[in-house]
Amino acid sequence: MKELYALIGQPLGHSFSATYFNDKFAREGIDACYQLWPLKSISELPGMITVHPNLKGFNVTIPYKREVMEYLNEVSDDAREAGAVNCVKVEQQSDAIRLRGFNTDIIGFSTALCEFINVAELPDLKVLVLGSGGAASAVCIALKRLGTEFLIVSRNKQTAAKSIDSNRVIEYSELTPQLIDEHRLIINTTPLGMTPEINVAPPFPWQYLSEKHYFFDLIYNPSKTLAMRIAEAHGAKVCNGLKMLYSQADAAWKIWQDESSAI
Ligand code: NAP
């Protein structure tokens, strides 16, 4: 039987993952197929797994990255630390099914960042992370491991601190020219500027950016967000989220293929 992979989430419109994996299977002659499973509730997951005995793995997107954890037999250290699972390996055993959860956004982001900025320069760069959601958690874990100092910029310190490192959260109103001068890498983890609402940008005082700044936007659609265009106009070097997207998908594929996977 054809191997099966899937994406769970709600809603699922156009999916990068489905196109990416189905193109890969066609190109590399892999007898497999990647399907979209828009689940109205995460409680539908066990039933879907039972009726698809050829399922080898699935990706998880909004809003189930956290909720899916209670359905898993095992969660990797990375996923536990991030509080989010975006990749699940399904191990069909003789009389049971074992589900193992991973977070590939951390490795995806690290890989993309190290391609954008020289690794040797990273520990000297202080970072401002805009937003405090699931993607921000993955970014912060990667930054800690790379030895980079960072602050999280949120609309609301109290709510952000519940889900993320509370000592490091500031609000947009606390951003000063001096703080921005000291923090040379700005990372957007908010969805602001993403298709279809492409004419918005995070409420950041972009005028204080200069040639010494880097701006990394996790958004990949459009390929150049309004925030990237503004940052570039002030001299900053910019990068979108496409490399991160490919890297996290490649990491998922490795997990699904490797019997002893541990990320
Ligand atoms: P999320 O949890 O829904 O939101 C991220 C954070 O953005 C929120 O916690 C919030 O932080 C801030 N935010 C949301 N709406 C805002 C608004 N109207 N104004 C200002 N701030 C707002 O989303 P996520 O899962 O972290 O994903 C965020 C983005 O990263 C999405 O665009 C997603 O596509 C992208 N992403 C890309 C990749 C990749 O591979 N390139 C991987 C993962 C995610 P505060 O409440 O603290 O302000």
| Ligand 1 near 78 CB (within 6 A) | no
Residue 1 has a pLDDT of: 87
| Per-residue pLDDT reduced to its tens digit, 186-225 | 999 999 999 999 999 999 999 999 999 999 999 999 999 9
The best mutation among 104, 115, 168, 189 to test binding of ligand 1, ranked by most ligand atoms within 8 Å of the C-beta, falls on 189
Residue ranges of the chain with per-residue pLDDT less than 50: none
Q: Which of 122, 94, 130 is nearest to 206 (CA)?
A: 130
For ligand 1, say whether the CB of 17 is within 6 Å of any of its atoms: no
Active site residue 65: yes
Distance from Cα 116 to the centre of ligand 1, integer Å: 21
Q: In which residue are the tokens 């399922």 written? A: 55
Report CA-CA distances (Å) from 260 to 68, 84, 103, 257: 22, 21, 16, 9
Helices 242-257 and 105-116 sit at what angle, rounded to 10 degrees? 130
Q: Residue 125 C-alpha to ligand 1 middle, in angstroms?
A: 23
Helix axes 105-116, 134-145, angle to 10 degrees: 60
CA of 189 to the centre of ligand 1 (A): 5
Fill in the DSSP letter of residue 211.
T
Of the residues 24, 40, 65, 254, only one is catalytic, namely 65
What is the C-alpha separation between 189 and 24, in angstroms, rounded? 28
pLDDT of residue 183: 98
